[in-house]
Structure 1
């Protein structure tokens, strides 16, 4: 096992890159312990050192994890991981909020998970001069098309801690919310974003919001904006292969990954050239493809040198920790600026699903809400939220017995 983790080596060649933890910080200790328990005995000492550099109490300036992304599903996982502790917390919430229904209790529980998780990253937030250590708390995915509901929820979540950044979806309604929150100096993370028009719409919405904030003398010292690109959700969940097949085109796994990367790279270039105040965030990453019998990490390799955020869920980090090509993996500095091969782009541009995703004006704002990747992701996230609501309901029933 290499002394330095793959993610550490990627950061070494990428000035400004930040690695974020894509789960609740409340499960970090248990996850580290599980990683050590399943590691080969000969790797445990090295792995222990790697994990201690990712996050540990004290010395926040040395943490590999520079921020956090969460959502209701990940918050429920944090509760599931420590049911005994949370049983007492939930009982207390029910006691303090007599007559609360399951929707109300869900929201109280969700806010409690966000508050406790963001507390863990406050030391980094303060040590970095309020530039890092943010935790992204998502508004209710069931309200992806309701701007008023998203604004109300965003205000509540932002009040929990100064380092809580609000995740707002890339729906038509979401961009008006992002502009309004930015105008008030509230940090945002644009999620459910898959195509270039969404990414640039966010950048421009933030730009307008900042102009309003500055005009009104709003304090922006603790403000930040990131724009998420949900890469494999565009290619896999959104159905790129199926849309290609409709045109008689067969795509390899590698070509699907390159399609996702092409959108990301173009957005990164445009944000840099335009001097925008938002930072790209890469998520929904996958290991692969396999090329000439060797497993690759294109979702990471092709971003070497980028000044971006890369958020990683526990299962993805698990895969990286046992990556078979670890010893031979070398990140090429400034790879982010290398264009996708022309023959691949020519093939992809024959697929309307990709062509529209790659062009700045490929979708109007009104069309975001019908994009298949957005609809399917919103449905998945909403179903997970309902699961947390039902869990809250079971807690109320138990308390009433």
Structure 2
């Protein structure tokens, strides 16, 4: 596969300028996002883990601001104050992306903010918060978990005009179920005469977290694989999901997240999709001059895919009908990631508590 033109540019900028593959920054941290935009980024994301890290990283900014918020809202608890900080962090990041939003007609330039993971069992609460978050800025896109409950919430929120990003999503069957739900929402809007608009919907597959889960699962099952094979699992799922979305003509795009290796970018270049590496991964891709070539339609090496397909847990993640929506929430990667999101919520509460009520 021939290397793309504009070889004078760094790899990320070259891919962003020469292919349909959009770059997002996997953080709403303002300083990182500004630098990522220089690499060609046209979007960014926030979740409880990212928000906690960004707020903790800048105590000189958020300490005083949280104390101000507490004074302005004397009845608010730690969770309300922490989530207000998340909203403000997201609004500031969204402003940095407004030029890309305007230039793309709303397809790009999105800031993704995640619904509170503690609401994951309550469809109505997820929809209500998604609608609330969508009103923070014109270019907000809202993350909702890709569980049976969450997918129902996504369809309803999208019908109400919310731009959607699926999260807690690791597999092809999850991505396809979300893609179908978003198509239904568009059809419902058309049937009811609601205005057409560019939603910029994206459907995340957290490829690195699928790799992580398969490594844990094979270890527990005492299954040996050839070195490096499991590092292709997320890439295989992302390539297949992109192929299905393209073949079926879905309006939403696949988004690659949770980076563990550069393949989760380099093997997807050329696709009409989004890649969202953490800023440090972006810097390393550029520093190492990772080759830029159109590889989205290049299959995963046959020997590697054949070994992966021997694993029942990979087949569940890779086959379009590998799981039913009722099974999504209990998939190992989903349970582990949801626990991490919930723990980040608790850590954010504790951080706010320590600012407002420091130990004597």
Instruction: Tell me the TM-score normalized by structure 2.
Output: 0.91
Match of 1:273 among 236, 243, 247: 247
In the other structure, the counterpart of 1:332 is: 293
State the match for 1:168 in structure 2.
Answer: 144
- Note the 1:1-400 alignment, pairs <5 A: 3-14=8-19, 16-28=20-32, 51=35, 54-55=36-37, 64-236=40-212, 238-240=213-215, 242-243=217-218, 246=221, 248-253=223-228, 255-287=229-261, 297-323=262-288, 326=289, 329-333=290-294, 335-397=295-357
Cα-to-partner distance string for 1:225-249 (whole Å, 9 max, x where unaligned): 101110110011x134633773744
Distance in structure 1 (CA, Å) of the matches to 2:201 and 2:108: 11
Residue by residue over 1:245-267, the C-alpha shift from the partner in whole angstroms, topping out at 9 and shown as x without a partner, is 737442322x1122222211111
SS of residue matched to 2:142? strand
- Indicate the larger mover: 300-309 or 181-190: 300-309
User: Which shows bigger deviation, 340-349 or 108-117?
Assistant: 340-349
Cα drift, residue 145 of structure 1: 2.5
Q: Is the 8 A contact 1:190 1:227 kept in 2?
A: yes
Q: CA deviation at 1:163?
A: 0.7
The gaps in structure 2 that reach 5 residues or longer are 1-6
- CA shift for structure 1 position 73: 2.2
Stretches of structure 1 that go unaligned for 5 or more consecutive residues are 33-50, 57-62, 288-296
| 8 Å contact kept, 1:230–1:282 | yes
CA distance in 2, matches of 1:204, 1:86: 40
Between the aligned partners of 2:25 and 2:185, the Cα distance in structure 1 is 27
Deviations 1:284-338 (A, max 9, x none): 1223xxxxxxxxx422232121111111212212322432xx2xx43332x2112
CA distance in 2, matches of 1:222, 1:330: 32
* Matches of 1:354 and 1:79, distance apart in 2: 36
Q: Distance in 2 between matches of 1:154 and 1:143?
A: 11
- Are 2:49 and 2:341, in contact at CA under 8 Å, matched by a contact in 1? yes
Give, in whole Å, the separation in 2 of the partners of 1:245 and 1:331. Answer: 37
- How far did 1:280 drift? 0.7
Distance 1:224 1:13, change over 3 A: closer
**Judging changes above 3 Å, is the alpha-carbon distance between structure 1 residues 314 and 332 closer, same or farther for their aligned structure 2 residues?**
closer
The 1-side partners of 2:250 and 2:232 are apart by 25
What is the aligned partner in structure 1 of residue 4 from structure 2? none
1:356 to partner: Cα distance: 1.6
Larger Rg: 1
Label 1:389 to 1:343 Cα distance change in 2 as closer, same or farther (>3 A): same
Distance in 2 between the 1:197 and 1:131 partners? 24
* Counterpart-to-counterpart distance in 1, 2:218 and 2:121: 26
Question: SS of 1:223's equivalent?
Answer: coil
* Aligned 8 A contact 1:281 1:308 in 2: yes
Using the alignment, how far apart are the partners of 1:122 and 1:25 within structure 2? 16
Secondary structure, counterpart of 1:336 in structure 2: coil
Alpha carbons of structure 1 residues 213 and 98: separation in structure 2 relative to 1, 3 Å: same
Taking only aligned residues, the RMSD between alpha carbons, in angstroms, comes to 2.3
Secondary structure at the aligned position of 1:209 is classed as helix
